[in-house]
Structure 1
Amino acid sequence: MKKIVYIFILAGFFMVMNQASFAQCNPESLTENCIPKLADGFNYLKSYKINGANGTKDKIEYSYVFTKGTQYMINLCAMGEQTDGIVVNLFDSNRNKVVSSKIDGQFISAIVYPCNNTGIYYIQYTFDNSTNYCGGSALGFKR
């Protein structure tokens, strides 16, 4: 009987520890850090929270209407200086990928897209060998 109680206590401990690891992601603070990192001349529009729930989500997606003749910048912030395998891909309204932050196997922390067609664009965050699945992002524009 003691072994069964011990197993239940141990299982409960692991469940609590698993829940605690999900709570460690704080995309709000990472998002706030991203806003001032927009390049000179870009005005802040919107921020995005990236929480891959400790690897249980393989992508997070948002949409935004982009306007023709406007340049958009999307940057990434994660724990530390690197983006930790977080990739941002931008898709046009037809779901064609127009730009990515992963280029030739290298990860960059920001992308810039000169919009040629007004419409809904999809901002998709994925994880490529990421270790923490947590980040923040900011969208800016300039004309």
Structure 2
Amino acid sequence: MKKAIYSIFVVGLFFLLSGTANGQCNPEQFTDACIPKLASGFNFLKSYKIDGQGGAKNKVEYSYVFTKGTQYMINVCATGESTDGIVVSLFDSNRNQVASSKLNGQYISAIAYPCNTTGIYYIQYTFDNSAQFCGGSALGFKR
């Protein structure tokens, strides 16, 4: 019995010291929350995990092919009702920024982009005074 308790203690201590039991990012909970928050009329396309690894990463980036004549929406979900300093920026195929969720120092939880040119677009998440470096996002479209 003592050996079993000791083994459980050692395993628990290992997880605590390695950080896997404390402070680990779980972006799935945020992506699941983001999908129903897409605006009315937008169809869900894809979810994105935002894991800044506790601040070790300063950005997380994905790419997606956008189609001309389609409007896209990207939303961000993090702790509580705020975006926790997570900024989503959208860049076209030439890496020109075409939209951002940080406007005049304020964070908004979603951006909409009417696509005028078919091509690869880059969805970039950065952390601006974020406390958790963890969140989720959903991409939706409407025609």
1:85-143: per-residue Cα shift (whole Å, max 9, x none)?
Answer: 00000000000000000001000000000000000000000000100000000000000
- In the alignment, structure 1 residue 112 sits paired with structure 2 residue 112: yes
RMSD: 1.6
Aligned length, in residue pairs? 131
Q: Give the whole-Å Cα distance in 1 for the aligned partners of 2:26 and 2:81.
A: 16
- In the alignment, structure 1 residue 38 sits paired with structure 2 residue 38: yes
Cα shift at 1:29: 1.1
Q: Give the whole-Å Cα distance in 1 for the aligned partners of 2:55 and 2:21.
A: 14
Please name the residue that 1:7 is paired with: none
Please name the residue that 2:89 is paired with: 89
Please name the residue that 2:131 is paired with: 131
Q: Is the 8 A contact 2:71 2:142 kept in 1?
A: yes
Q: Give the whole-Å Cα distance in 1 for the aligned partners of 2:94 and 2:57.
A: 24
* TM-score after normalising by structure 2: 0.87
User: 5+ unaligned residues in a row in structure 2: which ranges?
Assistant: 1-12
Please name the residue that 2:72 is paired with: 72
Alignment of 1:17-28 (within 5 A): 18-23=19-24, 25-28=25-28
Which secondary structure state, in structure 2, belongs to the residue aligned with residue 35 of structure 1? helix
Please name the residue that 1:98 is paired with: 98
Could you tell me which amino acid in structure 1 is paired with residue 17 of structure 2?
V
Q: Is the 8 A contact 1:21 1:54 kept in 2?
A: no
Q: Give the whole-Å Cα distance in 2 for the aligned partners of 1:87 and 1:130.
A: 10
User: 5+ unaligned residues in a row in structure 1: which ranges?
Assistant: 1-11
Which secondary structure state, in structure 2, belongs to the residue aligned with residue 117 of structure 1? coil
Could you tell me which amino acid in structure 1 is paired with residue 21 of structure 2?
A
Residues 33 and 15 from structure 1, CA distance in 2 versus in 1: closer, same or farther, beyond 3 angstroms? closer
Identity %: 73
Residues 57 and 21 from structure 1, CA distance in 2 versus in 1: closer, same or farther, beyond 3 angstroms? farther
Q: Which runs of 4+ in 1 moved over 2 A?
A: 12-15, 17-23
* TM-score after normalising by structure 1: 0.87
Q: Give the whole-Å Cα distance in 1 for the aligned partners of 2:16 and 2:32.
A: 31
Could you tell me which amino acid in structure 2 is paired with residue 69 of structure 1?
G
Q: Is the 8 A contact 1:22 1:53 kept in 2?
A: no
Please name the residue that 2:7 is paired with: none
